[in-house]
Amino acid sequence: SEQLFMEMADRLAEDSWRELGYQYINIDDCWSAKQRDASGRLVPDPKRFPRGIKALADYVHSRGLKLGIYADLGILTCGGYPGTTLDHVEQDAQTFAQWGVDMLKLDGCYSSEQEQAEGYPKMSEALNATGRPIVYSCSWPAYQGGLPPKVNYTILAEICNLWRNYDDIEDSWDSVLSIVDWFSAHQDVLQPAAGPGHWNDPDMLIIGNFGLSYEQSRSQMALWTVMAAPLLMSTDLRTLSPSAKEILQNRLMIQINQDPLGIQGRRIVKEKFHIEVFLRPLSQAASTLVFLSRRTDMPFRYTTSLAKLHFPGNAVYEVQDVYSGQIISGLKTGDNFTVVINPSGVVMWYLSPLAPPWRLLRQPGPGQGIGPIVL
Instruction: Give CA separation, 196 vs 148, 165, 279, in Å.
Output: 21, 17, 18
Q: How is 237-291 classified by DSSP, letter by letter? A: TTS--HHHHHHHT-HHHHHHHT-TT----EEEEE-TTSEEEEEEE-GGG-EEEEE
168 a catalytic residue = yes
168, 181, 236, 335: which one is catalytic?
A: 168
Burial of 272 from C-beta contacts in 10 A (0-12 / 13-18 / 19+): exposed
Q: Do residues 183 and 166 touch, judged by C-beta distance below 8 A?
A: yes
Do strands 135-138 and 162-164 pair parallel, antiparallel, or not at all (unpaired)? parallel
Cα first-last separation, the chain: 53
Which of 304, 311, 299, 305 lies closest to 346 in space, CA to CA? 299
Q: Do residues 171 and 206 touch, judged by C-beta distance below 8 A?
A: yes
Residue 57 amino acid letter: A
Q: What share of the chain is helix, strand, coil (3-state, %, to 5)?
A: 30, 25, 45
122/99 Cα distance (integer angstroms): 20
72, 92, 102, 107: which one is catalytic?
A: 107
- Known catalytic residues? 107, 168
